[in-house]
Structure 1
Amino acid sequence: MTVIAVFFLNGLTLSTYIVRAPSFKSAHHLTDGQFGLSGLLFALAAIACMQLVGPLAARVGTRAMLRCTLAVMPPLLAGLAVAPGPWWYIGGSAVLGAVHGTTDAAMNATAVAVEQRGGRPVMNRCHAGWSISAVVASLTTAALAHAGVSLTTHLVVAGALLLAAGLLLGPHLPAGTAARGSAPAARAPWTRPLLLLGVTATALMICEGGALGWGGIFLHDIRHASVSLAAAAITAYTGGQTVGRLFGDRLSLRRGRRPVFRCGAAIAAAGLTAAVLSPSAPLAVAGFALTGLGSSVLIPLVFSAAGGLPGAEPATLVARLTTFTYTGILLGPALIGWSAEYVGLLPTMAGLIPLLLLAGAVAPVPSRPASAGSGAEVPVAGRAG
C-alpha cells in the first residue's frame, strides 16, 4: 500500500538525519549549545507547521502536500551535509523540521482517510513501516561509517535515492483529505475527546521516551549491566514494537480497537514492571521487549481515533494530535531526567507504569472505525484502498 511507503520514506529520511547527528556535529564544528539549538528549532518548526496542515489540506489536499514534501525533504537532508557553516546547518535543520512536521501530519491524516474509506485498520502497518525504516537507516549508516564512506557522499547518494523514490511514489498516492477550496476545518473546536486523546498521546510518548531514552541508562546504572547488554534494552523495545505493529491491524479488525488498546496498555505496563522491578538484567531486557510489544498499537490507535472524531477534517484533527505527541517527545526525556535527579531513576521509571495503565483506561478509543466524514462508529467491513 502506497501510504505505508510514505511512512517508510519519511522514516528513512528522518532516521538518517538522527543517526548521523554525531557526524553533523563534528563536520560543522558545532558547540554543544549550537547542536542543542538545532534540535530545538527542528522540533519547534515541526510543531508550528503542523498547525497549518488542516487549512492547507482543505485547499490543496493531502496528496498534493505529500508529493511536494517527499520531493523537498531529500535535498534538504543532503544539503545539511554540505552546509557552509554551523548557522547554515542550524537554519537547514529548522527548515527540515518544518517539512517533516508537515509530512508527519499529512501522512497520518491520509492513513486515517484510507481507513475510513475502506473500513479496515491500516495505521499500525503504517507505523510499522516507519519503525522498520529506522532500523534500516541505523544499520545502513553503521555499515557505511565502518566502511569509511564520508558524510557528504552518504547523504548526497541517500538524498538522490529518496528523491527518486518519492517522485515515483507521488502519482500513486491515495487521495487522503481532498481539497475543498476553503479552510473551515481550521476553525473546528478543541473538543473534550480530542483533548483527552491528546493528553493520552503525550503520556504515551513520555513513557516511550522513558524506555528509549532511559532504558539503557537504567540497566547500566541501577542493574549494573554491561554497556552491550544495556544497549540491548533499546533494541528489544524497538523490536517488540515493530513486531506488534505488523500484527496490530489484524488484531484490531478481529477484536475491536478499544479492547486491543486496553490490552496493549496492560501488556506494556506488565513489561515495564518486569523491566524496572526485576533484579536480573536479562529479564529486564525481556521486559523492555514486552513493553515495546504492548505499546506498539497504542499511538497508531490514538491517531485513528482522533482522525475519526466529528466536527473537522481528519487532517486538522491529526495535526492537532501530532502537536501533543511532539510535546511528549520533547518533554519526556527531560521530565524523566529532572525527576530522577530528585527522587532517583528507579522510582521515576516505576512511575511510568501507572501512567500506562491510566492511559489505557481513559483514552476514548472506539471499538470500530468511523466512516468517512461522519465521525460515527461503523462496523468493520470492506477493503482498504
Structure 2
Amino acid sequence: MSDHTLEAAEAAEERQPISAAVAGRARWAVTAVFFVNGLLMTSYIARLPGLKSEHRLSDGELGLILTVYGVAAVLTMQLVGVFVARFGSARVIRLTLVGLPVALVTVGLAGNAVLLGLAVLVLGTVMGVLDVAMNAHAVAVERVRGRPIMNGCHAAWSVSAATGSLLAAGFTRAGISPTGHFLAVGAVFLVVGLLITAWLLPPSADHVPKSPDRKRVRLGWRAGWTRTLLLFGAIGFVTMVTEATVISWSGVFLHDYHDATLALAPLGLTAFTACQTAGRLVGDRLHVRYGAPALFRAGGVVGVGGLAVVLLAPSPTAAIAGFGLLGLGGSVLLPLVFSAVGHAGGEGPGAATFLSRFTTFTYAGILIGPALVGWSAELVGLGWTLAGLVPLLVGVVLNARLIAFADHNRRASALT
C-alpha cells in the first residue's frame, strides 16, 4: 500500500466517529494485552534459574544478560512515538504480540550463552516497544471513552504475573524444560494475541485532529524531554524503586530485622502483591469518584503509612501487614502516573513519545533500585535504607498536582 493510499484510508477513518461499542471492546482488548504481556514476561523471568543452570552461567554472566534485556528495551522504546505516528498503536501492538512469543521461544532454543544473549536482546527490544504501545493505546481508549481504565489494565498485568509464576512452577515441577514451557505458552498466546488485537481501536484514535492552531508534534530522540516530563520521571523512578525494593528485599528485611522464619519471610511480598492487585481492581472506580490528584494523595499517604509500620512494627506479623498497606496505597500510583503522562503528551504520537521517555525512568527504577538498596544497606544498614524511602515517597505525594492531567485532555504544547 502506497503512502498516499494509507493516508487516504486514515483520513477516511478520522471522519468516522468511534462508537461506544467499539470503545468498550477496545477497553477489554487492551486490558487483555496487558495480561499477555505480563504472563509472557513472567514466564521468562521465572525460568531464569533453569536457563542459568542449562547454560552454566556465572552470576556475573546472568547479570550481563539481564542488563542486555533492560538496555535493549530502554533504547528501543525511545522510537515508539515514531512507530505510532506512522502505523498507529494498534498495529504496533499487533506486530509485537506476534514477535513476543517468537522471541520467547528463541530464548528457549538458544544453544549457547552468546545466542542466549542475542535472543534476550531481541526479547527486550520487542518488550520495550509493547510496553509503551499498550500504555499509549490505553490512554487512547481513556480519551475515547471519557473514563479511566489504566488501573484495570495494570491489575490485569499483576494477575498475569502471578499466573505466569504459577505456570512456570507447574512446568518446572513436571520436569518440562524452559524450551518446552516457552513453546507451549508462546503458541497459545500467539493465537490469543492475534484474536484480541482485532478489537483494538482503529489507527485514527492515535492521530491528533487537524486544526490550524495545532503545533506539529515533535518526534525522535530529542522530543518530549520537558521539565514536566522530568518531574513525572522522578515520580515514576521513586515508585518503581520502592516496588523493586519490596520484591527484592522484603523477605531479607523480615528475616534479619524481625526474626521471621524462612517460611514466614516471603509473606511480606505476598501481602504486598495481593493488596496491590486488589487496589488496582477498584482503582478506576475510585478515580472516577474522587479524581486523580485526590486518589494519588490518598494512595501515597497510605503507602507512606504502610512503610512506617514496616519499619516500626513490633513483630513480623505487623510488618507483613505494613507491606500489605504499602502495596494497597502504592497500587494506584503508577497507573495514575502512566495515565497522566499519556494525556499530558497529547494524542497519539505525542502520548507515545511522552510515555516512552517516562518508561525510561520506570525501567531505571526496576533495574538499579535493588542494587542501590544493597549498596546503601552495606553502608548504613537495611533498616535505615528503607527509612530513606519515606521522604522520597512524601516528595511523590507533594507533586500530586501533576496527576491532574489524568483528569483532563491537554495538549502537549501546554507543557513547554
TM-score range, shorter chain: over 0.9
Amino acid at match of 1:219: L
* Partner SS for 2:57: coil
- Does residue 340 in structure 1 map to residue 377 in structure 2? yes
Alignment of 1:197-216 (within 5 A): 197-216=232-251
Q: Does the CA contact (< 8 Å) of 1:259 and 1:367 recur in 2?
A: no
* Partner SS for 2:263: helix
User: Cα distance 1:32–1:200, how it changes in 2: closer, same or farther (>3 A)?
Assistant: same
Identity %: 46
TM-score w.r.t. the length of structure 1 is 0.93
* Paired positions, count: 376
Q: Name the structure 2 match of 1:53.
A: 80
Select 2:292's aligned residue among 247, 257, 265.
257
Q: Equivalents in 2 of 1:95, 1:74: separation in Å? A: 11
Segment of structure 1 superposing worse, 113-122 or 131-140: 113-122
Gaps of 5+ in 2: 1-27, 209-215
Residue deviations 1:21-75, cap 9 Å, x none?
1011111222222211110000000000110001111111111110000001111
- Does residue 362 in structure 1 map to residue 399 in structure 2? yes
Q: Name the structure 2 match of 1:305.
A: 340
Q: Name the structure 2 match of 1:81.
A: 108
Q: Does the CA contact (< 8 Å) of 1:264 and 1:296 recur in 2?
A: yes
Q: Does the CA contact (< 8 Å) of 2:340 and 2:406 recur in 1?
A: no
Q: Name the structure 1 match of 2:213.
A: none
Q: Name the structure 2 match of 1:234.
A: 269
Q: Equivalents in 2 of 1:7, 1:162: separation in Å? A: 12
Residue deviations 1:216-259, cap 9 Å, x none?
11001111111121111111111110000000000000000000
- Does residue 320 in structure 1 map to residue 357 in structure 2? yes
Select 1:185's aligned residue among 219, 243, 261.
219
Select 2:197's aligned residue among 170, 177, 197.
170
Q: Equivalents in 2 of 1:83, 1:10: separation in Å? A: 21
Select 2:168's aligned residue among 118, 141, 161.
141
Quote how far apart the aligned CAs of 1:123 are.
Answer: 0.3
Quote how far apart the aligned CAs of 1:189 are.
Answer: 4.2
Q: Name the structure 2 match of 1:380.
A: none
Q: Equivalents in 1 of 2:296, 2:373: separation in Å? A: 24
Amino acid at match of 1:355: L
Quote how far apart the aligned CAs of 1:148 are.
Answer: 2.2
Q: Name the structure 2 match of 1:379.
A: none
Amino acid at match of 2:228: P
Q: Equivalents in 2 of 1:334, 1:351: separation in Å? A: 15
Alignment of 1:104-143 (within 5 A): 104-143=131-170
User: Cα distance 1:169–1:10, how it changes in 2: closer, same or farther (>3 A)?
Assistant: same
Quote how far apart the aligned CAs of 1:117 are.
Answer: 1.7
- The alignment yields a C-alpha RMSD, in angstroms, of 1.9
Amino acid at match of 1:190: W
Residue deviations 1:80-126, cap 9 Å, x none?
11211111011111110010000001101111111122111100000
- Does residue 35 in structure 1 map to residue 69 in structure 2? no
Amino acid at match of 1:340: A
Amino acid at match of 2:404: P
Gaps of 5+ in 1: 377-385
Q: Does the CA contact (< 8 Å) of 1:59 and 1:179 recur in 2?
A: no
Amino acid at match of 2:189: L
Q: Does the CA contact (< 8 Å) of 1:56 and 1:183 recur in 2?
A: no
Q: Equivalents in 1 of 2:58, 2:405: separation in Å? A: 49
Q: Equivalents in 2 of 1:59, 1:362: separation in Å? A: 34
Q: Does the CA contact (< 8 Å) of 2:140 and 2:206 recur in 1?
A: no
Q: Equivalents in 1 of 2:370, 2:177: separation in Å? A: 31
Q: Does the CA contact (< 8 Å) of 1:269 and 1:291 recur in 2?
A: yes
- Does residue 95 in structure 1 map to residue 122 in structure 2? yes
Larger radius of gyration: 2
* Partner SS for 2:219: helix
Q: Equivalents in 2 of 1:170, 1:212: separation in Å? A: 31
Quote how far apart the aligned CAs of 1:357 are.
Answer: 1.6
Q: Does the CA contact (< 8 Å) of 1:3 and 1:174 recur in 2?
A: no
